[in-house]
A and B are shown apart, each in its own frame.
Chain A
């Protein structure tokens, strides 16, 4: 075995994140690490790479025991990592991020020209042709993610670890990344891969290990396994099928919100959109097609230059997020890791943050009410935590996302925009969230959901709007909402009715 882990244990105050975990990773294989949110996947990875010190157990690489004290040492041992919470520095250039620690040098100084050339060459393998001299922060999350992967691949000599690397990539990008990973595997690299996308796991992995509550429950070759078995091993119970209910064919309700000719030069072409009470409108399209831009426009982040928004009472002001919130709008952004959480505040404080801000800080929400709200959402969204007072930064990635979702739900908006609401959330919780969304719309909440997962859109949306090249190009309603139809509309073949 290339990498052998024995009895690995890691304890956080109040949590046994890893409990006596054994794991063997072979060279030339892709090893998928699966488990619910909070199962201990990221913790295991961080213990391997020196980001955390382990509390017990041994790790051997190539037969020699290792105990990296810093990620730098792990890198020197040949372990490259893409961590779940991104990853690189927005204030350095793409080339600097990619090459840091391995810059080509001449006379002891960084040879910027060679560095640039190597960076461009590396990124070309991933189909990226971008200006590597620009700050990384100027590029989209997807590009940043690919740069992070490319960096980890460059660094890793023996082991490459990827913690949910594909969460913000579209299909074509995933394929490109997987091609690179496969060729690395064939060259003998050991690859550890964490993902909540089971399709991708079946596509790529040779071996699967499943963690539950910090314990290893199974470790097996993937050949011959089926989806249900995996899910049961992860959850410890069968997943009652939840979302196969076709979208309620309710008679179209009268629109409560009408957006007309809303647009912004260079961002999104003017579009019309009516939203009914309790209606779920889905936005589909490739990355960069204008989905997030549509959301940001409606929420006043990048306000519209043309067009009007009105409800029954008259025109509404959407020029700033503040105005949008006052109008009863909510927006859970895509990049929740950076935009969403206040890491040092507790789960309770994070959940009531939006509500409190709207009430004004002079009128604090009574503590009992805060506790009730927090406990409510922790239960409804199944946030795995030892209590509501835990700092949110100490939750697992998926559980942080649930808490941010809770913040917007707690504000009780009439129109809520969710950008990739289930990204990074495990299969069990995924179903739970979709069900919750259903319940909410019964209560009259209107939703706009952006998602790359077509099945998810099909499951919850009454109507799907398809975007291409920053314009709304098609609209599918009722029976016409299907994964294939959406796909065709995205590709632009056989325009949907």
Chain B
């Protein structure tokens, strides 16, 4: 098989092995209840990781998404508190805002040939600052429509709840997979990640693709912000600090090369679920401090980076 898919298989293997290990200790962990929670708890992370995957595949990075999620929550909460707009209208405005914000960053990255790291770092401060401007305190969301969103779920056999936001995440991943693997835009993204110069000579529209990639990441961050607002029922400007890094970790654990051009959207889903599983395990265990999550994720990251490095040298030798 393609060596490119090797990290993906490794990810899946690790996930299954970890799940089996957890299952042998806590058989409950395979219940629909836990699985439902796994999806719900990680919905916002998964959605933003879809955007991040595309960005990283294109050879870039987006550090602004955590701040954009926080901004989104505060924006929704403040708009619902201060205006009579229906939440759906607020969502629409928000998504346009965050998409435009991402696209603007993409435009700068392309036109000024600036490193994505710098531009999106500036974007991170900007979005976080805008969230503070709207409100420093946590703003509760009391709109009844939010209650409906929160209680929208289907009961799975075994009393597990498949929530709206959990389903939304899976749907977003499905869309992400189609975009990445079945559209010309997706191929352009891989092409840019493989080598911008060559891609340009092949006729890849570099400017448009870059703008679209960051615009898409902005859209995903906005959507993730909505999901996070539904999940927490409030908007808080200090929320989701560092989420961009967690998302990057999920993408890398999912087998995508940080240098761009190689990876799979599905891998990111497995990466997100792996991280969620570790957290669940620690909750089940009860004696472990939650900091163990970070340590295990750190170790996993290390393993994957080593794996990627090994694969690179192997394929260089062909």
A296, chain B: closest CB distance, angstroms: 9
Q: Is the CB of A100 within 8 A of B201?
A: no
Q: Is the CB of B318 within 8 A of A138?
A: yes
Q: Is the CB of A87 within 8 A of B194?
A: no
In the complex formed, the residue of A with least CB distance to B257 is A91
* Residues of B184-223 whose CB lies within 8 A of A: 184, 187, 190-191, 193-195, 198-205
Q: Please classify how large the interface on chain B is, using the bins under 10, 10 to 19, 20 to 34, 35 or more.
A: 20 to 34
Q: Is the CB of B183 within 8 A of A89?
A: no
| Besides A71-B200, A89-B198, A109-B183, 10 new A-B residue pairs in contact (Cβ under 8 A), listed by A number | A86-B198, A88-B202, A89-B195, A92-B191, A100-B202, A101-B184, A110-B187, A112-B182, A138-B3, A302-B317
Among A89, A110, A137, point to the contact of B202 (Cβ < 8 A): A89
Interface string of A103-131 (1 = CB under 8 A from B): 10000111010000000000000000000
In the complex formed, the residue of B with least CB distance to A302 is B317
For the complex, what is the distance from the CA of A360 to the CA of B263, rounded to whole Å?
Answer: 37
Q: Which 5 A-B pairs have the closest CB atoms?
A: A91-B194, A89-B194, A72-B203, A91-B261, A109-B182
B residues in contact with A88, CB < 8 Å: 198, 202
Give residues in A with beta carbon < 8 Å to B: 51, 70-72, 75, 81, 83, 86-93, 96-97, 100-101, 103, 108-110, 112, 133-135, 137-138, 151, 155, 301-302
Q: Is the CB of A103 within 8 A of B187?
A: yes
* Residues of B297-318 whose CB lies within 8 A of A: 315, 317-318
Q: Is the CB of A92 within 8 A of B187?
A: yes
B262 touches A (CB below 8 Å): yes
Give residues in B with beta carbon < 8 Å to A: 2-4, 178, 182-184, 187, 190-191, 193-195, 198-205, 261-262, 315, 317-318
In the complex formed, the residue of B with least CB distance to A96 is B187
Q: Is the CB of B184 within 8 A of A103?
A: yes
Q: Is the CB of B190 within 8 A of A92?
A: yes
B residues in contact with A134, CB < 8 Å: 2
A residues in contact with B4, CB < 8 Å: 91, 135
What's the dominant secondary structure at chain A's contact region? loop
B residues in contact with A83, CB < 8 Å: 201
For the complex, what is the distance from the CA of A80 to the CA of B194, rounded to whole Å?
Answer: 21
For the complex, what is the distance from the CA of A104 to the CA of B178, rounded to whole Å?
Answer: 15
A residues in contact with B183, CB < 8 Å: 108-110
A residues in contact with B201, CB < 8 Å: 51, 71, 81, 83, 87
Q: Is the CB of A72 within 8 A of B182?
A: no
Among B2, B203, B204, point to the contact of A135 (Cβ < 8 A): B2
20 A/B residue pairs, CB under 8 Å, sorted by A: A51-B201, A71-B201, A72-B203, A72-B205, A81-B201, A83-B201, A86-B198, A89-B261, A91-B194, A92-B190, A93-B2, A96-B187, A100-B184, A100-B204, A110-B182, A110-B183, A110-B187, A133-B2, A135-B3, A138-B318
In the complex formed, the residue of B with least CB distance to A93 is B2
Q: Is the CB of A100 within 8 A of B200?
A: no
In the complex formed, the residue of B with least CB distance to A296 is B317
For the complex, what is the distance from the CA of A385 to the CA of B152, rounded to whole Å?
Answer: 70
